[in-house]
Amino acid sequence: DTGVSQDPRHKITKRGQNVTFRCDPISEHNRLYWYRQTLGQGPEFLTYFQNEAQLEKSRLLSDRFSAERPKGSFSTLEIQRTEQGDSAMYLCASSLMGVISYGYTFGSGTRLTVV
């Protein structure tokens, strides 16, 4: 296992377009998280899954955002009708439930630029 993979690494899109990001977590990890990070700031929680169930969504996650984790494996985060304010780094992380001491393992992120 090579860790958490995110694709693409960079995405430039025009305002109003839809974009989809993919995250492949560590295979043994049953929890998967999405965070958003703007330059120089700490990551902000968006949503998380335990296996295939989406257990919590932040109020930051407007109705233009949707996330899925079919079969409890990879996850996708879709943003519809992108806005310039959506420009950020989108980070995915995974963890093993009940073993917080190991922390999250993060992917390298997808940097979204909306022009």
Binding residues for other proteins (CB under 8 A): 4, 31, 33, 35, 40-45, 48, 50, 55-56, 91, 93, 95, 97-98, 100-109, 111
What span, in angstroms and rounded, lies between the C-alpha atoms of 60 and 46? 6
Distance in Å, CB of 110 to other proteins, minimum: 11
Nearer to other proteins, 65 or 109 (CB): 109
Are the C-beta atoms of residues 41 and 27 closer than 8 Å to each other?
no
What span, in angstroms and rounded, lies between the C-alpha atoms of 73 and 82? 26
Nearer to other proteins, 56 or 83 (CB): 56
Distance in Å, CB of 111 to other proteins, minimum: 8
Are the C-beta atoms of residues 91 and 106 closer than 8 Å to each other?
yes
Degrees (nearest 5) of the Cα angle 34, 61, 82? 95
Nearer to other proteins, 82 or 95 (CB): 95
